[in-house]
Amino acid sequence: MATNQPKWLDNAIFYEIYPQSFNDTNADGIGDFQGIIEKLDYIRELGCNALWINPCFASPFGDAGYDVSDYYSVAPRYGTNDDLKRLFEECHLRDMHVLLDLVPGHTSVEHKWFKESMKAERNPYTDRYVWTDSIWEEPQGMGCIRGISDRDGSCAVNFFSHQPALNYGFYKPELPWQQSMDAEGPKATLEELKNIMRFWLSMGCDGFRVDMAGSLVKHDEDGKGTIRLWQNVRAFLDEEFPSAAMVSEWGEPDKSLQGGFHMDFLLHFGPSHYNDLFRCEEPFFSSRGKGDASEFVKKYLENYEKSERKGLICIPSGNHDMDRLARSIHGDNLKIAFAFLLSMPGAPFIYYGDEIGMRYVEGLVSVEGGYSRTGSRSPMQWDDSVNAGFSTAPAEKLYIPQDNSKDRPTAEKQMADADSLYHEIRKLIGVRQSNKALQSKGEIQFVYAEKNACPLAYLRHEGEEKILVVINPAAREAEFACDFEPVETIYRFGGDMKLQQGKMTVAPQSALFIKVK
């Protein structure tokens, strides 16, 4: 487990910024660091106190920046390294923290390391990536790049076929070309990773969201090698940057927390059942009330127990890889979904634009390796000025075409409307920030989470403070057995509840946070 736990994580509420699409200040159609700086007050006013910025490093952008070609320089389209440093400083002035996105598993094919490693002659980068020792031999189960180098070998890929896998070794090498974690090449890769982290942490970044953190060591089914690798990184951080925060894209908190991460994400793929809640044919949060939260709760509790009830599983409202929340959840139900997201343990992550109900833009041609993800990455809608205030570039120059429906939500409209989603989220954040039990580390106990039934009820508690959360997304009343004694309702959306003879009945489409005894 992580030895140092930055205090600010306890009540952190993250805002994820996809930098391309947030705010463009030099009219090139692409968001930039200055654009983020100019909107920090907006983010702060919403109540978020931390940022996760998607990769903003030099890249040919075949996977929107998850294909890094130089880890030490930002992509010129966003500004300079000094601009990013200024962004860190501006955040700190507002008591906000920033996580950069660290992509340790692969680089772009254009990275100079990869170009060197493709050469037939041995050089310091020969073992930087996972190569077989013959073009005719493919690395099993990994996909590969072959036939483009003088080097006689196939290079394993980590994600798209232009993202060669960096070499951290194999947990149990079986073939001659598979190196052990302790071989010189893998050790050098790991040291370089620490150099990269050192570089940005020294400049003022507060930590990292780590891309595909659980898959660095190959043929490591139980994650033991990868855990050991991250423990090594943890020891370095404890020594040099004890307050650095680490959040993993891993999806197995028992493993990631052992590796020294502070928090892990609940993922929208794999066994989490996260999609049952928001993104499937009958999501739990739809007003139809036909969905099921029970499998999600079962999995959540399994992970919660396995990670020593630390409650550090972060549930995002969405992200750059999945459909916009507003594609499947509508109207008041978005507010109810946020009542859930903002009352769960771990740090909540709000994907830019989700706070105003930005929609998934249908029918777009893929941009920068986005494919079906492109519709969730369209430029932020600020106001009713040209290009919704995102950029003054001609519309056809925008990074991704915008939602052009007449009634598209904008931050300005939402802020002017006291009943908007924006204001509900702001209110929810306020309630969370003034009640410790609702924050990252408060414990959770599910009170009612039955198969195909509403409501969902859970108790959050910390010390003496106990808060019962009852969420009913369905357009009909719902009830459950409740033997808590209500003291005070601290948040209510929709109608009130009735409590009679140990049975609580809650109104259709409602959410309640009740202090109880």
| Interface with ligand NOJ, residue 211, by CB under 6 A | yes
| Interface with ligand NOJ, residue 103, by CB under 6 A | yes
Of 32 and 323, the one with the shorter C-beta distance to Ca ion is 32
| Interface with ligand NOJ, residue 265, by CB under 6 A | no
What residues between 16 and 35 interact with Ca ion by CB under 5 A? 24, 26, 28, 30, 32
Of 26 and 392, the one with the shorter C-beta distance to Ca ion is 26
What is the nearest approach in angstroms of Ca ion to the Cβ of residue 30? 5
- Other beta carbons within 10 Å of 386: 12
CA 481 to chain centre: 35
| Interface with ligand NOJ, residue 320, by CB under 6 A | yes
Q: Which residue is nearest to ligand NOJ (CB)?
A: 66
Q: Rounded to a whole number, what is the distance in angstroms from the first to the last CA of the chain?
A: 33
Residue 429 phi/psi, 5° resolution? -65, -40
Encoded tokens for 58: 């030099």
What is the nearest approach in angstroms of ligand NOJ to the Cβ of residue 310? 23
Write the single-letter amino acid at 114. F
| Interface with ligand NOJ, residue 321, by CB under 6 A | yes
What is the nearest approach in angstroms of ligand NOJ to the Cβ of residue 363? 21
DSSP 8: G
What is the nearest approach in angstroms of ligand NOJ to the Cβ of residue 321? 5
Residue 391 phi/psi, 5° resolution? -160, 150
How would you classify residue 463: left for phi > 0, otherwise alpha for psi between -120 and 50, otherwise beta?
Answer: left
Per-residue contact flags (x/-) with Ca ion for residues 41 to 80, judged by CB under 5 A: ----------------------------------------
Of 26 and 180, the one with the shorter C-beta distance to Ca ion is 26
Contact with ligand NOJ (CB under 6 A) among 63, 292, 355, 424: 63
- Among Ca ion, ligand NOJ, none, the one that 368 touches (CB under a kind-dependent 5 to 8 A) is none
What residues between 406 and 465 interact with ligand NOJ by CB under 6 A? none
- Among ligand NOJ, Ca ion, none, the one that 445 touches (CB under a kind-dependent 5 to 8 A) is none
Tell me whether residue 346 is exposed, middle or buried, using C-beta atoms within 10 angstroms of its C-beta: 0 to 12, 13 to 18, 19 or more: buried
Per-residue contact flags (x/-) with ligand NOJ for residues 156 to 185, judged by CB under 6 A: ---x--------------------------
Of 210 and 470, the one with the shorter C-beta distance to ligand NOJ is 210
Task: Give the whole-angstrom CA distance, residue 104 versus residue 115.
Answer: 18
For residue 61, the number of C-alpha atoms closer than 13 Å in the C-beta half-sphere is 18
What is the nearest approach in angstroms of Ca ion to the Cβ of residue 19? 9
DSSP 399: S
CA 281 to chain centre: 23
- Among Ca ion, ligand NOJ, none, the one that 66 touches (CB under a kind-dependent 5 to 8 A) is ligand NOJ
| Interface with ligand NOJ, residue 209, by CB under 6 A | no
**Can you spell out the DSSP letters for 394-457?**
-GGGSSSPPP--TT---HHHHHH-TTSHHHHHHHHHHHHHT-GGGSTTSEEEEEE--TT-S-EE
Of 373 and 460, the one with the shorter C-beta distance to ligand NOJ is 373
Q: Which residues pair with 157 in a beta bridge?
A: 164
Encoded tokens for 269: 């793929």
Element (H, E) at 185: helix 184-203
Task: Give the whole-angstrom CA distance, residue 133 versus residue 115.
Answer: 17
What is the nearest approach in angstroms of ligand NOJ to the Cβ of residue 320? 6
Task: Give the whole-angstrom CA distance, residue 168 versus residue 156.
Answer: 12
Of 367 and 428, the one with the shorter C-beta distance to ligand NOJ is 367
- Other beta carbons within 10 Å of 45: 11
What is the nearest approach in angstroms of ligand NOJ to the Cβ of residue 370? 9
Residues 6+ apart with CB under 8 A from 289: 454, 473, 474, 475, 476, 478
**Contact, 142 vs 170, CB < 8 A?**
no
What is the nearest approach in angstroms of ligand NOJ to the Cβ of residue 103? 6
Contact residues: Ca ion, CB under 5 A? 24, 26, 28, 30, 32
Contact set with ligand NOJ (CB under 6 A): 63, 66, 103, 159, 211-212, 249, 320-321
